Chains A and B, each alone.
Chain A
Amino acid sequence: MRNHSCMRVQRVVLLACICASLVSCASLHAPNGTLPEPENIAESVFGGWVYLRMFDNYTRIQGEFIAVEDSSIIIMALTSSNGFAAQRVDRSQIEYASIEIHTTNSTSYGLWTAAGTLSTLSHGWFLTISAPTWAIWGSVATANIHHGGEFSEWKPDDSWWRSMTIHARFPQGMPRGIALDRLKSFW
């Protein structure tokens, strides 16, 4: 009876560690080719990639971050036909926002962490110690690399959006005289 309980504990711990590793592989929303590598960011001429989840719990809007306005933000949004169209989004309706400004290699890091965790299967009772160690340190490194290129916020408020303007195509705000329908995307 006691041996069965121990085995169960080990499996639960291992499963939890693997899940924790995979959680740290926060996936990038930006399509391939839309974001620069970190070392090339100084030459990038577009805004970051913004991903929004609205309070209605099913609407998702994502695209190039164009500008911040008093009560809205402007996005060059990805449409259902895989084109782009400039769109004004009411900030009060945004439940979650994420802005990515460059690519990361966090996916490979997360998988490495998970692989490292799986390798502890042979450790027996030591699994309880070594598996969490892999999960913790690998995931910590992964989370930091990813955070370097991504900013996210639940129920983002005005001060958060103001701090994010530096990642917009127009950090100075929407230029005067430019209507939304004149905006184009080069992706």
Chain B
Amino acid sequence: MKSIRLLVFAIALIAIVGGCSGQRVVRHIGPVSDIWNVSSSDSLLKVHFNDGGLAVMSSWHADAVRRMIFGKMVRYDFNRGIIRSGFDSARFDDVALVESNRVISPDALAGMAVLSTASLVMTGFCIANPKACFGSCPTFYAYDGQRMSLQAEGFSSSIAPVLRATDLDALYNFKPSGDLVEILMTNEALETHVVDHVELVALKRPSGGGRVVATGDGEFVEAFGFQSPSNAEASEGDIRALVASYDERERFSSASAIDLAEREEVDFEFDSTRNGSDGLVIGFRESLMTTYLFYQGLAYLGSNAGAWLASCQRDSVVARRTLSAMHSVLGGIDVSIADSNGKWSAVGTIDEAGPIATNLQMIRIPAHHSWPLRVRLRMSKGLWRLNYVALATLGRSVSPLRLQPRSVRHTDVDDTAAHADLIDPARSLVTMPGDHFMIDFDLPNASQYEVFLESRGYYLEWMRTEWLAEEDPIKAAAMFAMPVAFLKIEASRFKLLESSMEQEFWSSRYAQP
């Protein structure tokens, strides 16, 4: 009997001891510096604040430079009552601990490690074609006589803090009335925008129907007698109708299927016997090729995107060289004029990043040239969309009036903090997807002025979960180290998306004003 009791005891003891695996929760808590180690499979992040509050965050990302965490969150007080929910931010200094939780089951898949992710839930188009997703910096709307229309996009190339830049955009279609200029600034993409300042640059229009145009260097010049080309020939034929007016019609070509940097030439002729200095005025914007290449680059970087951007921040010289490698190969719009012998001479290059708003720039034509004036634009096929090409007689250079915002409104309510962010050199306004700010400027008799918008800042693209599946360190390295070869390799892939990208791009805006 004693041996039986021992047997029973042993069985009971074995029964209590574990060995098989069931569902388990692995919880990690650490200081805010641990946030860089949080895996994307821990898609919800909990942030414990010093005051006892809590934020449960999804679609988040951490900014090492600004020492902030941004994302969609539900914010709780110390009694776990909800304070607010939506896109918000948290300062590292306010954070006590960050927490992640992972449920492990026997058939759990391996997770991915990234700095931040965002789920694409906007439209079916965007999910099907993540590279076509709307993006690219703050967008600015102004009144065009009928409605608030999109007229500028700020610092499109400033994809990292180290690339912070000042951007000048002509509000060529702006039709102000009265003494108040309203500029609507929006964040319509899955991005964080850091806006240092927004200023209105105003120049009195010359009498006699003249306008004021700007060169790529920011020189403002009076311009008169805008003349459309008498001839405009591209590979597809006569394109005069497409470039005669600054309107919705554009001339664009398809990219090469072999080499995205393959060049094309478009020739123009201007008949005139007038004297005086001339300037070629071009309305243009990028196609979605650079958007595609940027997003594809992030996809190839994958989980290393955050670390790569951080490394750029540590060495700005290397960062600029690396990030401009692709741009150097693709190039801008090279402008040449022909002499009487038909020999072409380079005049300059027009270049401005951004696929959203049409840019307007003037490039000076040398004084001594023959008539008719023959102009050649040489550029990468499929990269540039031409809206307007004209020859203007240039007047004098003029100095602008620079205006700071008098107020900033957010959801129709004065936002003094946002206003301070934009006018204080030591502060910046950070905007999240869906944010709209109406920036007001005082400009007496505004209709007498040519108005430009100057903006400065940078933005951070949010990694999309769907991109992470394409992580390819070799292609990422090729993109920076061998851009010439990379643009040949990537051409066929881009061609698959090229024709549908434009529609999908505009359909996928996160929020529209």
A residues lining the B interface (CB < 8 Å) = 9, 12-13, 16-17, 19-21, 23-24, 38-39, 41-43, 45-46, 101-102, 132, 135-137, 139-141, 143-145, 147-149, 165-167, 169-172, 175-178, 182-184, 186
Q: Which residues of B contact A19 (CB under 8 A)?
A: 12
Q: Is B24 interfacial (CB-CB < 8 Å)?
A: yes
Interface stretch of the complex, out of B15-23, B307-315, B408-416, B471-479: B15-23
* B128 close to A (CB within 8 Å): no
B318 within 8 A of A: no
Residues of B within 8 A of A136 (CB): 11, 14-15
Q: Are A42 and B42 in contact (CB under 8 A)?
A: yes
Which residues of the other chain, A, contact B81 by a CB distance below 8 angstroms?
Answer: 186
- With known contacts A39-B103, A171-B29, A12–B78 Cβ distance under 8 A: no
Is B480 located at the chain interface by the 8 A CB criterion?
Answer: no
The docked-state distance in angstroms from the alpha carbon of A13 to that of B1 is 11
Asked if B328 lies at the interface with its beta carbon under 8 angstroms from chain A, I say no
Q: Which of A12, A23, A145 is in CB contact (< 8 Å) with B12?
A: A23
Provide the residues of chain B in CB contact with A144, threshold 8 Å. Answer: 18-22
Q: Is the Cβ of A171 less than 8 Å from the Cβ of B99?
A: yes
CA distance A165 to B96 in the complex (A): 13
Cross-interface CB contact of A135 among B11, B21, B52, B96, cutoff 8 Å: B11
**From residue B24, how far is it (CB to closest CB) to chain A in Å?**
4
Q: Which residues of B contact A183 (CB under 8 A)?
A: 78-79
Say yes or no: A178 contacts B22, CB within 8 Å: no
Closest to A40 in B: B103
The answer to the question of B76 belonging to the interface, with a C-beta cut-off of 8 Å to chain A, is: yes
Q: With A16-B12, A171-B48, A186-B79 in contact, do A140 and B17 touch (Cβ < 8 Å)?
A: yes
Give chain A residues whose Cβ lies under 8 Å from the Cβ of B43: 42
Cβ contacts A to B, 30 pairs, < 8 Å:
A12-B4, A16-B11, A17-B11, A23-B12, A38-B24, A38-B25, A38-B103, A41-B25, A41-B27, A43-B56, A45-B54, A102-B25, A136-B11, A136-B14, A139-B15, A140-B15, A141-B22, A144-B19, A144-B22, A145-B23, A149-B25, A166-B29, A170-B52, A171-B29, A172-B97, A175-B51, A175-B52, A182-B78, A183-B79, A184-B79
Q: A143-B17, A148-B25, A172-B96 are in contact. List 16 more A-B contacts (CB 8 A).
A: A21-B15, A38-B25, A38-B103, A45-B46, A45-B54, A135-B15, A139-B15, A140-B17, A140-B18, A140-B19, A166-B27, A166-B99, A171-B48, A172-B50, A175-B78, A183-B79
Contact status B48-A170, CB under 8 Å: yes
Residues on A with beta carbons closer than 8 Å to the beta carbon of B8: 12-13, 16
Q: How far is the CA of A171 from the CA of B96 in the complex (A)?
A: 9
Q: How far is the CB of A59 from chain B (nearest CB, A)?
A: 26
Interface residues on B, range: 35 or more
| A111 shortest CB reach to chain B, Å | 14
| Across-interface contacts of A24 in B (CB, < 8 A) | 15-16
- B80 pairs with A186, CB closer than 8 A: yes
User: Does chain A have a CB within 8 A of B447?
Assistant: no
Cβ contact within 8 Å between A139 and B16: yes
A64 closest partner in B (C-beta)? B80
> Does B7 belong to the interface (CB within 8 Å)?
yes
Contacts of B96 in A (CB 8 A): 172
Q: Is the CB of B46 within 8 A of A38?
A: no
Nearest CB in chain B: distance from A178 CB, A: 6
Question: Could you say which residues of chain A place their CB within 8 Å of the CB of B365?
Answer: none
Whether the pair A42, B44 counts as a contact (CB closer than 8 A) is: yes
Q: Which residue of A lies closest to B44 (CB)?
A: A42
Cα separation A74 to B19 with both chains bound (whole Å)? 33
Which A-B residue pairs are the 8 nearest by beta carbons?
A145-B22, A16-B8, A175-B52, A172-B96, A139-B15, A20-B15, A42-B44, A148-B24
Known: A41-B101, A175-B51. A46 touches B4 (CB 8 A): no
Q: Could you say which residues of chain B place their CB within 8 Å of the CB of A137? A: 20
CA distance A45 to B23 in the complex (A): 21
Is the CB–CB distance between B50 and A175 below 8 Å? yes
CA distance A132 to B15 in the complex (A): 9
Residues of chain B lying within 8 A (CB to CB) of residue A182: 78-79
Check A101–B22 contact: CB distance below 8 A: no
The interface residues of chain A lying within 8 Å CB-to-CB of B20 are 137, 140-141, 144
Contact flags (1/0) for B407-451 with A, using CB distance below 8 Å? 000000000000000000000000000000000000000000000
Contacts of A149 in B (CB 8 A): 25
- Chain B residues within 8 Å of A184, by CB: 79
| A132 engages B11 (CB within 8 Å) | yes
CA separation between A169 and B23, bound complex, in Å?
23
Give the nearest-CB partner of B22 in chain A. A145
Closest to B10 in A: A132
Verify B56–A23 contact, CB threshold 8 A. Answer: no
Q: Which residue of B lies closest to A165 (CB)?
A: B29
**Chain A CB within 10 Å, residue with most, of B8, B81, B100:** B8
When distances are taken between beta carbons in the complex, the residues of chain B under 8 Å from A16 are: 8-9, 11-12
Q: What residue of chain A has the Cβ atom nearest to residue B3's Cβ?
A: A9
CA distance A135 to B15 in the complex (A): 6
Nearest-neighbor residue (CB-CB) of B55 within chain A: A45
State in angstroms the CA–CA spacing of A98 and B54 once bound together. Answer: 25
Partner among A20, A41, A178 whose Cβ is within 8 Å of the Cβ of B78 = A178
Q: Kindly state the separation between the CA atoms of A72 and B323 in the bound complex, as whole angstroms.
A: 55
**A171–B50 touching, CB < 8 Å:** no
Taken together as a complex, chains A and B put the C-alpha atoms of A175 and B56 apart, in Å, by 18
Closest approach, in angstroms, between the C-beta of A179 and any C-beta of chain B?
A: 11
Q: In the complex, A166→B27 CA distance in Å?
A: 8
In the assembled complex, which residues on chain A have CB atoms less than 8 Å from the CB atom of B11?
Answer: 13, 16-17, 20, 132, 135-136
Contacts of A23 in B (CB 8 A): 12, 15-16
- Say whether A178 contacts B101, CB under 8 Å: no
Task: Determine the chain A residues whose CB is within 8 A of the CB of B101 once the complex forms.
Answer: 41-42
> Whose C-beta in chain A lies nearest to the C-beta of B102?
A42
**A98 CA to B335 CA in the complex, in Å?**
77
Alpha-carbon distance between A144 and B19 when the two chains are bound, in angstroms? 7
Chain B 78-108, CB-CB to A under 8 Å as 1, else 0, gives: 1111000000000000001101110100000
B20 CB to closest chain A CB (Å) equals 5
With A43-B44, A175-B52, A186-B80 in contact, is A148–B23 under 8 Å at CB? Answer: yes
Contact with A13, one of B4, B44, B54 (Cβ below 8 angstroms): B4
Q: Which of chain B's residues have a CB closer than 8 A to the CB of A20?
A: 11-12, 15-16
A13 touches B7 (CB 8 A): yes
